[in-house]
Every structure is written in structure tokens, then in C-alpha cells.
Amino acid sequence: MTIRPGQSFEVTGTFRLDDADPVRNVSFAPRVPEGWTVEGEPVTADWLQPGETLEGTWTVTSPAEGGFTAVDLPVVASFEAFGRQHEAQAAVEVQTIPAGWLYVMEGEASTNTFSGSVGPGGCDACSGGEKLRRVGNGPSNYVQFEDVVADEAGDYTLLIDNTVNGTRSFFVTVNGGTPIEVSITGTSWDEPNTASTTIPLREGTNTIKIHNDTAYGPDLDRIRIPLPDDGS
């Protein structure tokens, strides 16, 4: 999930007790870093039997100012069992971006969909210290960025941070539409450069697939989409 400064979003969680014994004094809610806020009270139960569940929905708001940051927001169930306090949790992965950007996401982020032989590799100069390798050389080797949310439909600039020595192509497919070829020339597999193209986004949620069905593409660092009339 990618959010901008001061943006609110819903977090929904379910806690199911699968142990053989009941637990007491259960409390279930997100925990957020300093500067973030949560609207909604913890979901509680004095007693929870095996197989029973607790469900909750909360509104989380990011700080009014911030930069590029990866944050794991845990949704935590705390409870008492056999006279001792215990916790179970699962995290929501959130990428925060500064004002002026619609979307920024690392190629290796776990929220993406990976197919075929595509996988992360080390890259000291790349954002996050990693990049995606083996994109292309067949229709099954691709990465798809999910939940690219646009407030308005229109044409947007897509910036593709990559590494390549020579000339190779990525193809960009938005929402299953017609692939757009982006030919990229570079001089290093270790130092990222940036290519750009224009893509159509619909209002609401979009998907962006990076692929090459017939030949190897460059290695992929990340993609970025600036808001219209803002610089990169």
C-alpha cells in the first residue's frame, strides 16, 4: 500500500483462536509509530474459546509531513493464557511518499505479484539496496504492481528506475491493456538510471505489469509516478 502525507486508510483484521485452550482479557488493535493516529477502539473480549474470532476495522492516518519510508504496521492481539501475557500479530506493509507523488514502489516489495523466474538481487546503489532480476525472456517472467490508486483518470508519467548495460526493453501493461514498449539504454548493471513513458490510469485502483515476452529486459529497481505538474 502506498500513501501520501496526511492520508487515511482502513485497516481490517481478524484474530482466530486456534489453540486447544481458551484465553482471557483479549485486546485486538493496530499499533502505529509516533506521529500516526488510529481512529477506533480496540476490539476486546473477556474470554475467547478455541475456534472463536474477533474482527475489527480501524482508520489509520499517516503524519502530515514525511518522506519515502517503508513502515510495517502490526495489528496485534494481546491475551492472557495460563497466567501469562501473550501476543500474536500480522503486519500491514505501507510505503509512505512525500507530497507531489502519486505512487512510488520498490520492485522487490512484497505487495507486488511476481511470476516465473523473477526475483530480487543485491544492488548497493539501488533504492532499498535491491533490484529485480530476470524480468522477461518469456511471458511468465514478470512483475505486477497492485493497487496503484489514482484520484482522477488521465495520462501520467511513469518513471522506471533500472540498471542495464546495453539496450533492452521493458513492456508496460496497465490494467490488462495494450503493452507499451520502453526501450532503455544504459552502461551499468550496478548504477541505476531512469527511463520514462506515459501511461493511462483510470480513477481508482490500477495494476501495472512490467514484462518482456520475447527477450530479457533490464533489471528493475523501482517505479515512480509524479502527480501532474510536479517534477520528478
Q: Is 86 left (phi over 0), alpha (psi -120 to 50) or beta?
A: beta
Cell 509509530 belongs to 33
Q: Are residues 221 and 107 in the same domain?
A: yes
Q: Are residues 53 and 67 in the same domain?
A: yes
Q: Are residues 106 and 60 in the same domain?
A: no
C-alpha 21/C-alpha 108 separation (Å) is 40
DSSP character at residue 164: E
Using the 3D structure, point to which of 47, 70, 96 is the last residue of a domain. 96
Q: Are residues 34 and 71 in the same domain?
A: yes
Q: Note the pLDDT tens digit of each residue in 3-46.
A: 888 999 999 999 999 988 999 999 999 999 999 999 999 999 99
Q: Are residues 42 and 105 in the same domain?
A: no
Give the pLDDT score at 232: 43
pTM: 0.76
Q: Are residues 135 and 204 in the same domain?
A: yes
Q: Note the pLDDT tens digit of each residue in 111-153.
A: 899 999 999 999 999 998 999 999 999 999 999 999 899 989 9
Q: Are residues 118 and 213 in the same domain?
A: yes
pLDDT: is 2 or 57 the higher one?
Answer: 57
End-to-end CA distance of the chain: 20
Q: What is the mean pLDDT of the chain?
A: 94
Using the 3D structure, point to which of 77, 96, 115 is the last residue of a domain. 96
Phi, psi (deg, nearest 5) at residue 7: -85, 140
Q: Find all residues with CB under 8 Å of 36, minimum gap 6, and list them.
A: 60, 61, 62, 63, 73
pLDDT: is 19 or 84 the higher one?
Answer: 84
Decide if 231 is inside a domain: no
The answer on pLDDT for 99 being more than 60 is: yes
| CATH value at residue 170 | 2.60.120.260
Decide if 175 is inside a domain: yes
What is the gyration radius of the CA atoms in the chain, in angstroms?
A: 21
Query: For residue 15, what are the domain limits?
Result: 2-96
Decide if 232 is inside a domain: no
Give the pLDDT score at 81: 92
C-alpha 184/C-alpha 195 separation (Å) is 7
Phi, psi (deg, nearest 5) at residue 221: -85, -65
Query: How many folded domains does the chain comprise?
Result: 2
